[in-house]
Amino acid sequence: MVIELTKRQERILQIVKDEGPITGEQIAEKLNLTRATLRPDLSILTMSGYLDARPRVGYFYAGRPGGSVISESLHKLIVNDYKAVPIVVQESASVYDAVVTLFLEDVGTLFVVNQKGYLAGVVSRKDLLRASLGNKALEDMLVTIIMTRMPNIMTCSAEETLFEAAKKLITYQIDSLPVVKASETDSRQYELLGRVTKTTIAKAFVELGQEPQV
Ligand code: ADP
């Protein structure tokens, strides 16, 4: 669990870092607060592992608790820095065209765009498999018949964190999210900026693990 420190808790940490061991009384004095006001903050900081308390000596700085270093860097990753190129087909494409594109581009999900280039739908590999089963006329079937269409598409923005995008993949049990921006002329229409897939998340995960620990 990530605990977000308040401004006051950050100041307490700084004081203890600079001047510890230091008593609760002394910290309170420095902040012009009463010892009682400070008590909840001190117990949060102690329980979450930032501070160590020794009776009659005072508070010591114990360091950022383990795990929070990882989650801090994790929550800094932004979709825009990790997104991949979206692979698209036109609304006029057939299921056959979509299957060929899926293989040629080596992806698991295609986005369908309308004539203006806005997002119209999503087709996954299972959508295509399902349509192909027992169906010989794949050239004659439009991809728009089988796609999941707007407005039922889960999307993410370029400014979102990768963590939020990953949570959407898990929550909605999908492999891929289009990265979109609302059109300036019609806010219900989405321009496609990229895609975030489970592979994107796996790559970021590996990159995080290789980061030198500081
Ligand atoms: P697969 O179907 O190959 O397992 P997904 O799990 O991504 O791949 O897709 C499951 C279903 O959800 C498919 O019918 C697909 O059209 C739809 N889908 C995929 N991505 C999205 C999305 N971003 N928003 C809404 N529906 C989606």
Tens of pLDDT, residue by residue over 6-48, are 999 999 999 999 998 999 999 999 999 999 999 999 999 998 8
Q: Does 12 sit in the ligand 1 pocket, CB within 6 Å?
A: no
- How many other C-beta atoms can be found within 10 angstroms of the C-beta atom of residue 203? 14
Ligand 1 atom 14 nearest Cα: 127
Q: Does 64 sit in the ligand 1 pocket, CB within 6 Å?
A: no
Of residues 189, 136, 163, the one with CA closest to residue 79: 163
Q: pLDDT confidence of 1, banded at 50, 70, 90?
A: very low
Provide CB contacts within 8 A for 42, sequence distance 6+.
12, 24, 27, 51, 53, 59
**In this structure, are residues 138 and 127 in contact, taking their beta carbons and an 8 Å threshold?**
no
User: What is the C-alpha to C-alpha distance for residues 95 and 62, in angstroms, rounded to an integer?
Assistant: 60
**Which range scores top for mean pLDDT: 68-72, 84-88, 185-189, 209-213?**
84-88
Q: Does 150 sit in the ligand 1 pocket, CB within 6 Å?
A: no
**In this structure, are residues 165 and 140 in contact, taking their beta carbons and an 8 Å threshold?**
no
DSSP 12: H
User: What is the C-alpha to C-alpha distance for residues 37 and 59, in angstroms, rounded to an integer?
Assistant: 16
Q: Is the pLDDT of residue 163 over 60?
A: yes
Q: Does 98 sit in the ligand 1 pocket, CB within 6 Å?
A: no
User: What is the C-alpha to C-alpha distance for residues 81 and 67, in angstroms, rounded to an integer?
Assistant: 23
